[in-house]
Structure 1
Amino acid sequence: MSHQPPELKKELKIRHITMISLGGIIGAGLFIGSGSLINAAGPGSIFSYAFAGLLVILVMRMLGEMSTANPSSGSFATYAREALGPWAGYTIGWLYWFFWVIVIAVEAIAGSTIIQYWFPSLPSWGVSLILTFLLTLTNLYSVKSFGEFEYWFSLIKVVSLVLFLLLGGAIILGLIPGVESPGASNLLHRGGFLPNGISSVFLGVAIVMFSFMGTEIVATAAGESAQPERAITIATNTVIYRILIFYLGSILILVTILPWDSSSLMKSPFVSILELVNVPAAAQIMNFIVLTAVLSCLNSGLYTSSRMLYSMAQKGDAPRMFLKVNKKGIPFNAIVGCTVISYISVGFNYLSPDKIFLFLVNASGGVALLVYLVIAFSQLRMRKKYEKEKPEALKIRMWLFPYLTYGTIAAITSIFIAMAFIDSLRTQFYLTLLIAVFVVCSYFFMKKKKDDSSLSGQGNKRIS
């Protein structure tokens, strides 16, 4: 009697996937990093977010097309392998895994910094390790527990942003007693809408692209849903509204209410607006929301990196030990493996924050653009294959194919190359390129080693 090995369980419900897709796009970067971009580009920063958001919408449409036709926990790495060859699936899989294990460490460190705001005597490294350990337990318990935690994390972020949008709208319309409406003065009367020129807007696009990383997680999570097609369709069709409301809505309110050259933007723009209307404990409230965003990203990072590692092990691109699935349908070794790497990264931050850890963070910086680029190239090939072999599988179709796909590829390539000419991003460009070349070379080295081993084995068989 054959014994079937355990597989990943499809325990994520539509409400989990829906909330993951809603909250996945809301990261700590929106609450903290948006201020520095507005300070650099002025009100025109809304164009930076709009253009970057448009590219993400197009990429998500492409990913949605492939995911409904072939749901997989390996997501775009699986499609890259089918469309471009094993080397592409191997390369983008390991790069994406590398990105998320570094993100886990970065978010754990960010979370410890926030907690130190309330408990300054606690050691940063200790809190970072505890946060990672606790969220590892939720991922190890069951995929449903990951979904539940992410559901509530996302719900807090979504409700907070909706309340912020309502408050900001009330201020702009002059509905808050004692608070004067700024009108259009901050948009037009401080050097105009583009005080630092159009170049600052294009520079902003390269920075903003990284803020949207995480939208693609829903395609991975759908692989563990009982209704993958429905889950992906909902996520793909609502991505436009999510970007319009949460990102563009928030940035429009910030640039309208706060002067773009104000020092309060560099501190925390969201806190500044709460303080403007005398919300008690504004900084405390915002710290809690940012901590939620950080924990959500940490939770998603553990889930996504482990599923990518598991999927690569299935294809023979990672050690077979990461294929182990326990009785609850959890890739136990893959989760623990990702956690261990993140613990080591946190240790590097403690021992060598300005060298080793900084190198790791910068080396993962451009991975988002490479992932989006591979998704676009994969969709270009897979769409033609699906139309030829199984057109009925195309429940979601990329708009204006292939022209918008070509346009997206050109835009993302331009942004990636532009990183080499932007002082603050140049290091990330070269280090990401270095890591990418290293991963590609490692594929061909491993392939040659396997081929030599196979030939050697065949030779031994003939001799015997």
Structure 2
Amino acid sequence: MAQHELKRELENRHVQLIAIGGTIGTGLFLGSGKAIQLAGPSIIFAYLIVGMAIFFVMRALGELLLSKAGYQSFTDIAEDYLGPRAAFVTGWTYWFCWIMTAMADIIAVGIYVQYWFNIPQWIPEIICLIILLGLNLLSVKNFGELEFWFALIKVVTILALIVIGVILLVVGFKTDAGMVTVKNIWGYGGLFPNGITGFLLSFQMVVFAFVGVELVGVSAAETSNPAKNIPSAINKIPLRILFFYVGAIIALLCINPWMELSPTESPFVKTFTLVGIPIAAGIINFVVLTSAASACNSGMFSTSRILYNLGRNNQAPSSFAKLNKNHVPRNGLWISTLVLSVGALLSKLIPEQAFGIVTTISAICFIWVWGVILVCHLKYKKTKPQLHAQSKFKAPFTPFINYAVLTLFAIILIIMLFAEATRPALLLTPLWFILLFVLHYSYKGKREK
């Protein structure tokens, strides 16, 4: 007998670690080197600004999700407040976001495995996809357990970096790059050594560093106690940003003058090498490998749930709405995995260019999704003031903060338009939205029957 409802198997510890895993990824472990080279120490302010903006997006999402028990994800919210077309475009765009992100991460898995084993890149990629598919098909709890352990590895690594940084500061340690001191943060050209231009250009990579934080909202339908677990996870986002991003970046800049960090090398590898840990490269390579696998795992989870909801709402083939005996959307998982495997193989043909284009498009599409959440919250407060008044998890500073964050997102897109590295992807992305608006009409008839 077919199952029709997702199973609530995620416990509080799963949701908390999913939230942590969503805020720590390749954007920090790999992308922070490029961001630091663009902005210098002012990258700290970029992480704070974007991080706080995302927190307000999540507070809006949290209030919306808890306002109606039947919500499975923010695509349902978009349908209620913006109509079926917006839900269709947002749902498929969110699927596209994670497909693009997971493609980059699965390619990264193959590259990282080659550090230890000289085998063709596609072999570990396919093996990783098969393992993640198998585990996700068994039950949603397996996804939670995978993210729990993946996130723990990330947390331990960052904690180790910060602790080492504090110890080196206290003992007055000297590396090949010089003395470990807080003066390294502003001692080489000030906080804005590349001016306001470098600071602004870093925002694209900073935005990409935060993609996935909204996954705690996608998992709302499968947590055992949404009213308790979702607010708890969202309210801890600011502390996690301060600790995992700002804390880690400050530690990096105290140990290394900012210009010593390479845009093509993980600053974590550089730091552990400088402090004299001989197996630093291997340790960090393992951490980055698990981070990439974690991101791909999150991508498979989220894309399958998005397809499930699109199928239920007649915005995708109805077969996507079918669940297996473990209450897992198996068809959505299979399709997403198939697309990922094809995309990963094709991306190997232009690996250097592909990663930059894919990550930029992903960031742009995530800005769309976050923007839709804010707009839905504005309409929710205007059209259903009684629900807002009764809410036990009200988003703060609305509607002012909604408009402020939407303005910030618009400014970031404008910056991408003027930046040579991100302009091609920004100009290509509208083709995706045009395609979706055209395809929507093919499903419009089904919804009206």
TM-score, normalised on structure 2? 0.94
Change (3 A) 1:105 1:72: farther
Aligned counterpart in structure 1 of residue 440 of structure 2, from 436, 440, 443 = 443
| Equivalent position to 1:402, from 399, 405, 417 | 399
- Does 1:90 pair with 2:88? yes
Aligned to 2:97: 99
Distance verdict in 2 for CA 1:357–1:125, change over 3 Å = same
1:69 aligns with 2:70: no
Structure 1 residues 356 and 34: alpha-carbon distance in aligned structure 2, compared to 1, 3 A threshold: closer
Change (3 A) 1:177 1:406: closer
Kindly indicate whether residue 412 of structure 2 is the aligned counterpart of residue 415 of structure 1.
yes
Amino acid at match of 1:171: L
Q: 1:22 to 1:361 in 2, by over 3 A?
A: closer
User: What is the root-mean-square deviation in Å for CA atoms of aligned residues?
Assistant: 2.3
- Bigger mean CA deviation after superposition, 169-178 or 193-202: 169-178
Question: 2:276: which partner in 1?
Answer: 278
Which residue identity lines up with residue 160 of structure 2 in the other structure? L
Indicate yes or no: 2:130 matched with 1:128.
Answer: no
Deviation of the 1:228 alpha carbon: 1.0
Q: Which runs of 5+ in 1 are unaligned?
A: 455-464
Matches within 5 A, 1:4-83: 5-70=3-68, 74-83=72-81
Q: Secondary structure at the match of 2:394?
A: coil
Distance 1:243 1:362, change over 3 A: closer
Which letter maps to 1:248?
Answer: V
**In structure 2, C-alpha distance between the alignment counterparts of 1:47 and 1:104, rounded to whole Å:** 28
CA distance in 2, matches of 1:316, 1:52: 35
Mapped contact 1:93–1:308 kept (Cα < 8 A): yes
Distance 1:341 1:105 in 2: 9
Match of 1:166 among 154, 158, 163: 163
Structure 2 residue ranges without an equivalent (≥5): none
**Any residues of structure 2 matched to 1:94-243 within 5 Å, and which?**
94-120=92-118, 122-174=119-171, 181-243=179-241
The number of residue pairs the alignment matches comes to 448
Is the 8 Å Cα contact of residues 65 and 71 (structure 2) preserved in structure 1?
no
Kindly indicate whether the alpha-carbon contact (under 8 Å) linking 1:28 and 1:293 is maintained by their aligned counterparts in 2.
yes
Q: Does 1:428 align with 2:425?
A: yes
Q: How far did residue 324 of structure 1 move?
A: 1.0
Deviations 1:340-371 (A, max 9, x none): 11111122124565888987665444111111
Q: Is the 1:104–1:297 Cα contact (8 Å) retained in structure 2?
A: yes
Change (3 A) 1:98 1:72: farther
Which of 1 and 2 has greater Rg?
A: 1
Percent same amino acid at aligned positions?
Answer: 35
Residue 267 of structure 1 corresponds to 265
Kept in 1, the 8 Å contact 2:208–2:360? The answer is no
Query: Is the Cα contact below 8 Å between 1:314 and 1:323 reproduced in 2?
Result: yes
Contact 1:73 1:308 in 2 (8 A): no
1:384 aligns with 2:382: yes
Displacement of 1:80 in angstroms is 1.1
Structure 1 position 446, deviation (Å): 3.7
In structure 1, distance between residues paired with 2:39 and 2:353:
30
Task: Work out whether residues 75 and 87 of structure 2, in 8 Å CA contact, stay in contact via their aligned partners in 1.
Answer: yes
Q: Deviations over 1:14-37 (max 9, x none)?
A: 111111112221002211110111
Worse overlay, 160-169 or 373-382 = 160-169
Provide the C-alpha distance between the structure 2 equivalents of 1:60 and 1:143, rounded to a whole number of angstroms. Answer: 22
Contact 2:59 2:394 in 1 (8 A): yes
* C-alpha separation in 2, matches of 1:188 and 1:363: 33
- Asked whether the 8 Å contact 1:59–1:375 carries over to 2, the reply is yes
User: Alpha carbons of 1:275 and 1:201: their partners in 2 closer, same or farther (altered >3 Å)?
Assistant: same
* Offset of residue 173 of structure 1: 2.9
SS in 1 for 2:114: helix
After alignment, is 428-437 or 312-321 more displaced?
428-437
Normalised by the size of structure 1, how large is the TM-score?
0.91
